[in-house]
Amino acid sequence: MSVEIIDFDVEPGEIDGLFVVTIKQISDERGKILELFRRSAFESAGVTALGPLSQINVTESYRGAIRGMHGEQMTKLLTVAAGEAFGAYVDTRAGSSTYGMVETVRLRPGVQVLVPRGVANGFQTVTDTSHYVYCFDEEWRPGMPGVSVNPLDPALDIPWPIEVAADDLQSLSAKDRSAPMLADVEGAP
């Protein structure tokens, strides 16, 4: 039996406080084990921004669907458990040195993104379906502090891999479609 091991690795993103993580993976003829979260691995890499996890959600989405851009006041650890997604992140923190910066990451099982508080995240499913996993350090609640930004804001110029019409509710919710443009977000410079 041959065993392949991919070690845990953390790379800082371009947005201040955002990290792209390759999780430890062990493969053999039977399949693969993905180490979704090990606090000591993050701490050894110097990433201590993620507090104790308070909530974990899995979202099933279909090809072409966009969810987000949401920037709640919570730190998030994001990945896909199945399928692939195109992740997009925009710094909505007023006063941040990377305010307005957009970063994108191709998400597949084994790749995670640690998103700091106030950085909006969204994704588009690029396979038939994806199972997108959100780990939060705070429980989500209606009306919690944060911002939403329209994922089709031309100023963001997010290169969504699958074209989406703004009025297509199967690909973009009414809530996300009516979210403000970044320039209209309260606190924007």
pLDDT in tens, 49-81: 888 899 999 999 999 999 999 999 999 999 999
Q: Does residue 167 belong to any structural domain of this protein?
A: yes
CB-CB contact of 149 with 183 (8 Å): no
What CATH number has the domain bearing residue 62?
A: 2.60.120.10
Measured distance CA(150)–CA(173) in Å, rounded = 11
Residue 45 forms part of a structural domain: no
Any domain includes 165: yes
Tokens 């994922």 belong to which residue? 151
In a domain? residue 171 = yes
Q: Is 134 a catalytic residue?
A: yes
8 is a domain residue: no
- Active-site residue 89, yes or no? no
Print burial letters for 63-88: b (CB count within 10 Å at least 16), e (below 16): ebbbbbbbbbebbbbbbbeebbbbbb
| Mean pLDDT calculated for residue range 5-13 | 96
Could you tell me if residue 4 is inside a domain?
no
Structural domains counted in the chain: 1
- Catalytically annotated residue among 89, 99, 132, 134: 134
Range of the domain at 173: 50-184
Domain assignment present for 38: no
pLDDT digits (tens, 9 = 90+) for 145-154: 899 999 999 9
Catalytic residue among 62, 70, 89, 132: 70
Report which secondary-structure segment, H or E, holds 128: none
Which comes out higher in pLDDT, residue 169 or 186? Answer: 169
Assess if residue 23 is contained within a domain.
Answer: no
